[in-house]
């Protein structure tokens, strides 16, 4: 079955594409692979940011070229976002600490551009307001799916840096978690080192076939 053809334009240049394929694949097929940067081609690295317009007058916007399917009349413009230096996270974050790290936090005018621009549907502007009021657990939740494409920062006229702040909050909270409560670090091994070494000796037998047999039986209980 041959897919239907549609006409799209990239930076003003018209090319034909197959209906149903992504913008990235359409550009590859047209020999224009370098025009939009690609990192993962799976919607999680944020390299392939583009702005879009439609011939039928629907509002355009921003998206990831690797996740968006082409459609008739779609106009595509590459929109790469440069990386920037970021301040280091701090344990036990507070509103005061985030304001010191990001002096533009309170410049947000609640225009909502960041939320509109986010290809991951994160409520970015609401989350910036939550940062101002130190509601950090909710911020961490908001930015769980952030791919750091940078579009929220790119569209902000007031130089607020939502995704950098989201990362700062997440890392600051993550670093402050109680390692003992999490159960990180130490295996729950009530075994003495000597007994553990006995298990290793038995599992690491030199004969590969016997080693596989022993591993298979060890899996059943996790003990000799």
Partner 1 sequence: MDWASDSIQKVEKTRAERMKQAPPVLSDADKDELLREFHPDFVGMKRPVRVGPNADDQEFPNELADLLEADSPLPEDFQPRADIETDVLIIGGGGAGVSAALALEGSGLTVHLATKLRLGDSNTVMAEGGIQAALGPEDSPRRHFADALAGGHGKNDPALLRALCEAGPSAIDWLTGLGCMFDQNPEGSFRLRSGGGTSTPRVLACRDYTGLEIMRVLRDALVQGSANLLEHHSAVELLDNGQGLTSGAVFWNSKTRRWVTVSARAVLLATGGSGRLHFQGFPTSNHFGATGDGLILAYRQGCPLVHAHTFQYHPSGTSYPEALVGQLVTESIRSIGAQLLNKDGEQFVEELTFRDVVASAIIREVVEGRGVKTPTARRGVWLDTPMIELKSGEGTIRRQFPGLIHRFERYGIDPAKQPILVYPTLHYQNGGVSIDSDGSAGNVGLWAAGEVTGGLHGTNRLMGNSLLDITVFGRRAAESIKNNLPKREALTLAALARFREELKSLDHKSSETSPILFPKESGMKLEIDAGEGAGTKTETSSAQQETTSYEPPDPFSRPA
Contacts of partner 1 in 69-88 (CB under 8 A): 69, 83, 85-86, 88
* Residues in CB range of 121: below 8 A, 6 or more apart: 145
Q: Which residue has the tokens 């990386």?
A: 83
Indicate the residue among 12 and 121 with the shorter CB distance to partner 1: 121
Verify binding: residue 186, partner 1, rule CB under 8 A.
yes
Residue positions counted in the chain: 224
Q: For residues 21 and 16, what is the distance between their CA atoms, to the nearest angstrom?
A: 11
Indicate the residue among 109 and 144 with the shorter CB distance to partner 1: 144
Q: Tell me, rounded to whole angstroms, the distance of Cα 163 from its chain centroid.
A: 10
Binding segment (CB under 8 A) for partner 1, from list 6-14, 109-117, 127-135, 197-205: 197-205
Q: Comparing C-alpha atoms, which of 103, 99, 157 is closest to residue 131?
A: 99
Binds partner 1 (CB under 8 A): choice among 15, 44, 95, 138: 44
The residues that bridge with 6 in the sheet, in sequence order, are 17
Binds partner 1 (CB under 8 A): choice among 56, 96, 193, 220: 220
Instruction: Mark 161-180 with x for binding to partner 1 (rule: CB under 8 A) and - for no binding.
Output: ------x--xxxxxx-xxx-
Smallest distance, partner 1 to C-beta of residue 204, A: 5
Q: Which residue has the tokens 């440069």?
A: 82
Verify binding: residue 128, partner 1, rule CB under 8 A.
no
Q: Which residue has the tokens 């101002």?
A: 132
């Amino acid at each position: 079955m041959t897919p239907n053809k549609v006409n799209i334009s990239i930076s003003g240049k018209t090319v034909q594409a197959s209906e149903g394929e992504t913008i990235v694949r359409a550009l590859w097929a047209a020999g224009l692979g370098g025009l939009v940067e690609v990192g993962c081609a799976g919607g999680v690295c944020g390299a392939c940011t583009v702005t879009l317009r439609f011939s039928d007058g629907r509002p355009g916007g921003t998206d990831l070229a690797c996740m968006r399917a082409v459609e008739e009349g779609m106009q595509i413009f590459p929109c790469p976002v440069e990386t920037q230096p970021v301040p280091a996270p701090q344990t036990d974050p507070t509103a005061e600490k985030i304001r010191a790290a990001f002096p533009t936090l309170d410049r947000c005018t609640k225009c909502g551009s960041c939320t509109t621009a986010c290809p991951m549907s994160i409520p970015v502007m609401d989350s910036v307001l939550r940062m101002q009021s130190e509601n950090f657990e909710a911020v961490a939740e908001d930015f769980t799916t952030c791919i750091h494409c940078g579009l929220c920062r790119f569209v902000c006229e007031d130089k607020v840096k939502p995704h950098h702040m989201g990362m700062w909050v997440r890392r600051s909270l993550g670093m402050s978690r109680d390692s003992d409560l999490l159960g990180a670090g130490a295996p729950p091994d009530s075994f003495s080192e000597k007994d553990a070494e006995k298990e290793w000796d038995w599992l690491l037998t030199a004969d590969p076939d016997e080693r596989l047999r022993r591993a298979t039986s060890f899996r059943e209980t996790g003990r000799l």
